[in-house]
A and B are shown apart, each in its own frame.
Chain A
Amino acid sequence: MAERLLEVTDLSTHFFTHAGVVKAVNGVSFTLDRQETLGIVGESGSGKTVAALSVMRLIPDPPGKVVEGTMMLRGRDLRALSDDEMRQVRGNDIAMIFQDPMTSLNPVFKIGDQIAEAIMLHQDKGKDEAWRLAAELLERVGIPDAKNRVKQYPFEFSGGMRQRAMIAMAISCNPDILIADEPTTALDVTIQAQIIEVVQEMQEQFHSGVILITHDLGVVAELADKVMVMYGGRTVEYGSIDQVFYDPHHPYTWGLLGSLPRLDVVEKTRLTPIKGQPPDLILLPAGCPFSGRCAYERAECRDNWPAHELISEGHGVNCWIPRAEREETRAALPHFRSAVA
């Protein structure tokens, strides 16, 4: 069995604002093994990014605070680390790739400067050595003529190249965990494919675990081994890619999958959007956050959070609808008719 890199249990992160307590993440648990990719999906405001930033301990405090839960990085309790120790963890053990490569590189420094800085922060390397490594990393993420490119400024790079440079920076200290926060959202589709490939290659070479935050189910299917579906700050369903994509058990997961076009189904069906708006995180229902929007809502949904139900090994769901009824309902949905058969 692969080495367990990260174990997050019952993580809750709240923001204490003037308007009230924003419950961004509520009791989320997940694990990540070496060389494994975990996809976290959900729409905007579902708590994906906050969960990841909580692991990095980068939640701005005030107003944010991790109010509950444990986060163990290879046996070390991240919440117990001092700020100095946490700084050593960031970049060195856990690194992050951000959404918008156009703004996540400092415009006044050369690409090489920024990668070399990351190296020098965590490794005992001189400037020349760090620059040499920076050029090498750039080459490895597929930037041609890296030797000269490393001396250029971010504005001389295209969006895709900048994201490659960001990846080079993130892997520069060979982190155990790479958090990619919507790494392809700001890129066009051809570049997206290339970046996905680079992330995959880097994962193979550096044996990192990857947490991929996205709302693009296509990217998840391509990259991830397992997936966690978040809604309103809670995990509604998790499991391997096959389990969640081919045997989804939560109505929200149905909704996500149902709003995707499918190429493998000949029969023409309309895409079904999920009706309504994501919940206000200040006024979350006490029960399932999806209640109020869920087409199969029951009396108990609004006031009580359903117990965790294990569907099969590694596949769990939180939903009040009894399993048999759930499977029946799903089979009737046009989107899943051929998939489940």
Chain B
Amino acid sequence: MAGREFIHESGATHGSPNVDEVAAVGAVGELDVLDERAAQTAEPGNGGAKPLGLWADTWRRLKRNKLALVGLGIIIVFMVIGLVQVIAYPLTDGRGVTPYPPNQQNYDLSPQGRGSPPSASHPFGTDYMGRDILSRVLVATRISLLVGVIAVAIALTIGLVLGPVSGYYGGTVDSVIMRLADIFFAFPYILFVLLIMTVLGPGFVNVFLAIGILSWASFARLVRGQVLSVKAMEYVEAARAQGASDLRIIFRHVLPNSMAPVYVAIAMAVGGAIVTEAALSFLGIGIQAPNASWGKMIADTLTYLWAGSWWMVVFPSIALTLTVFGFISFGNGLRDATDPKLKE
């Protein structure tokens, strides 16, 4: 068994700088250029930047898509406002960072119970209770951000476990998981959410749970399809020939190569989750009064539209539409940018 020790032996003696110098001198001009680039971009150990990896390449093509950039801009604005509200909410005892306390009623500002139109002190006007609509739209950003992030995170977690397992193992496991997904797809979405909300009871956290539980199936199906194509790649077999375990192969070799379309789906799903929350609140089983959510604000004030108080409905609607538009157009742009078939 002399050979077994070979690697260890040489490992102990090889660290001398001379050998490395010789190797470096040996490299010719053209290689040097390449290697310099690698030396600059790749840091020692792990976590080095990719020289021109998936993301750099995607960003290069995304930049040329104006609509996607607009979407990205909207997402960034939404995220910044949302994060500020999320952080400020507990610190300010529910006020958030707003010009007026969002739940403060002032009937002086609501003559005849119809609110007051946009003015210098209340740019979005006030609602039927005299509450500042701008403040309410701002503080509601928190709900939308949370629902987008948490519900999608729940769905993604379930999808990223069941999807790869389903695709990788195939057979009975695959059938069971995919039929389960089919069942989830078969129910009318809103009806199913309503059902779950009825079981869980109304409230803020339950909205996240309900949407998350119901959205896993599309992620699972998407990832499964990806895994099916990636698992046939030779490097997966190479990993197996190396003695890697199934779990290691799935989560280290197969999944990272299956993620590109998932990122697109995430962007779309966040928009979808925000809309669903709005729909639930509109139907009265989402966010409870007096807390503001865009869907709830629209629901509460819809009747005032006929009385001419358009601002109560229009501003939360614009906020909702813009945000969802931002996620969808960014998601579309991302899909185009990551689609190898559209590469020039």
Chain B residue nearest in CB terms to A56: B241
Of B3, B26, B256, which is within 8 A of A108 by CB? B256
Interface string of B33-54 (1 = CB under 8 A from A): 0110011001011101011011
Of B6, B48, B54, which is within 8 A of A205 by CB? B6
Interchain CA distance A117-B238 in the complex, whole Å: 12
- Mark out the residues of chain A between 90 and 140 whose CB falls within 8 Å of any chain B CB in the assembled complex: 90-92, 95-96, 98-100, 103-110, 113, 117-118, 121-122, 127-129, 131-133, 136, 139
Interchain CA distance A102-B38 in the complex, whole Å: 20
On whether the beta carbons of B244 and A153 are closer than 8 Å, the reply is no
Interchain CA distance A104-B241 in the complex, whole Å: 11
Interchain CA distance A249-B45 in the complex, whole Å: 56
On whether the beta carbons of B3 and A208 are closer than 8 Å, the reply is yes
On whether the beta carbons of B243 and A91 are closer than 8 Å, the reply is yes
A220 at the B interface (CB under 8 A): no
On whether the beta carbons of A146 and B23 are closer than 8 Å, the reply is yes
Interchain CA distance A58-B237 in the complex, whole Å: 8
A9 at the B interface (CB under 8 A): no
On whether the beta carbons of A144 and B23 are closer than 8 Å, the reply is yes
A328 at the B interface (CB under 8 A): no
On whether the beta carbons of A96 and B38 are closer than 8 Å, the reply is no
A148 at the B interface (CB under 8 A): yes
Interchain CA distance A298-B265 in the complex, whole Å: 65
Chain A residue nearest in CB terms to B4: A174
Residues of B within 8 A of A90 (CB): 240-243
On whether the beta carbons of B243 and A89 are closer than 8 Å, the reply is yes
A151 at the B interface (CB under 8 A): yes
Residues of B within 8 A of A301 (CB): none
Interface string of A69-92 (1 = CB under 8 A from B): 000000000000000000111111
Instruction: Determine which residue in A91, A96, A104, A145 has the highest number of CB atoms from chain B within 10 A of its CB, and name it.
Output: A145
A147 at the B interface (CB under 8 A): yes
Residues of A within 8 A of B35 (CB): 145, 148-149
B20 at the A interface (CB under 8 A): yes
Q: Whole-angstrom distance from the CB of B23 to the nearest CB of chain A?
A: 6
Of A113, A117, A145, which is within 8 A of B27 by CB? A145
On whether the beta carbons of B234 and A100 are closer than 8 Å, the reply is yes
- Mark out the residues of chain B between 1 and 27 whose CB falls within 8 Å of any chain A CB in the assembled complex: 2-4, 6-7, 10-11, 14-15, 20, 23-24, 26-27
Residues of A within 8 A of B253 (CB): 106
On whether the beta carbons of B256 and A149 are closer than 8 Å, the reply is no
B235 at the A interface (CB under 8 A): yes
A152 at the B interface (CB under 8 A): yes
B31 at the A interface (CB under 8 A): yes
Q: Whole-angstrom distance from the CB of A144 to the nearest CB of chain B?
A: 5
Interface string of B168-184 (1 = CB under 8 A from A): 00010000000000000
- Mark out the residues of chain B between 266 and 301 whose CB falls within 8 Å of any chain A CB in the assembled complex: none
B233 at the A interface (CB under 8 A): yes
On whether the beta carbons of A88 and B45 are closer than 8 Å, the reply is no
B257 at the A interface (CB under 8 A): yes
Residues of A within 8 A of B34 (CB): 156
Chain B residue nearest in CB terms to A204: B3
- Mark out the residues of chain B between 228 and 249 whose CB falls within 8 Å of any chain A CB in the assembled complex: 233-235, 237-245
Interchain CA distance A208-B2 in the complex, whole Å: 11
Of B14, B171, B235, which is within 8 A of A104 by CB? B235
Q: Whole-angstrom distance from the CB of B14 to the nearest CB of chain A?
A: 6
Of A122, A136, A156, which is within 8 A of B243 by CB? A122
Q: Whole-angstrom distance from the CB of B92 to the nearest CB of chain A?
A: 43
A169 at the B interface (CB under 8 A): yes
Residues of A within 8 A of B23 (CB): 139, 144-147
Residues of A within 8 A of B54 (CB): 108
Q: Whole-angstrom distance from the CB of A265 to the nearest CB of chain B?
A: 39
On whether the beta carbons of B38 and A151 are closer than 8 Å, the reply is yes
- Mark out the residues of chain A between 178 and 232 whose CB falls within 8 Å of any chain B CB in the assembled complex: 205-208
Residues of A within 8 A of B4 (CB): 174
Interchain CA distance A88-B269 in the complex, whole Å: 42
With A95-B241, A117-B242, A122-B243 known to touch, is A108 a contact of B51 (CB < 8 Å)? no
Residues of B within 8 A of A207 (CB): 2-3
With A146-B23, A148-B39, A208-B3 known to touch, is A153 a contact of B50 (CB < 8 Å)? yes
Interchain CA distance A128-B15 in the complex, whole Å: 13
Chain A residue nearest in CB terms to B239: A106
On whether the beta carbons of A133 and B11 are closer than 8 Å, the reply is yes
Residues of A within 8 A of B46 (CB): 113, 127
Chain A residue nearest in CB terms to B14: A136
Interchain CA distance A219-B337 in the complex, whole Å: 44
Of B24, B171, B234, B245, which is within 8 A of A98 by CB? B234
Chain B residue nearest in CB terms to A152: B38
With A56-B241, A89-B243, A147-B23 known to touch, is A106 a contact of B235 (CB < 8 Å)? yes
On whether the beta carbons of B242 and A95 are closer than 8 Å, the reply is yes
Q: Whole-angstrom distance from the CB of A198 to the nearest CB of chain B?
A: 16
On whether the beta carbons of A108 and B24 are closer than 8 Å, the reply is no
Of B6, B11, B24, B235, which is within 8 A of A145 by CB? B24
Residues of A within 8 A of B53 (CB): 153
On whether the beta carbons of A148 and B240 are closer than 8 Å, the reply is no
Residues of B within 8 A of A50 (CB): none
With A91-B242, A108-B256, A136-B11 known to touch, is A151 a contact of B233 (CB < 8 Å)? no
Residues of B within 8 A of A104 (CB): 234-235, 237-238
Residue pairs across A and B with Cβ atoms less than 8 A apart, 19 shown, are A88-B243, A90-B242, A90-B243, A92-B243, A98-B238, A99-B234, A103-B233, A106-B235, A106-B256, A121-B243, A128-B45, A133-B7, A136-B14, A151-B48, A153-B50, A156-B34, A156-B51, A166-B238, A205-B3
Q: Which residues of A contact B (CB under 8 A)?
A: 56, 58, 62, 87-92, 95-96, 98-100, 103-110, 113, 117-118, 121-122, 127-129, 131-133, 136, 139, 144-149, 151-153, 156, 166, 169, 172, 174, 205-208
Closest 4 CB pairs of A and B: A91-B243, A90-B243, A207-B3, A91-B242
Not counting A174-B4, A205-B3, a sample of 17 additional A-B residue pairs whose C-beta atoms are within 8 angstroms of each other reads: A58-B237, A87-B245, A88-B243, A90-B241, A95-B241, A98-B234, A100-B234, A106-B235, A106-B253, A144-B27, A145-B23, A151-B38, A152-B38, A156-B38, A169-B238, A205-B6, A207-B2
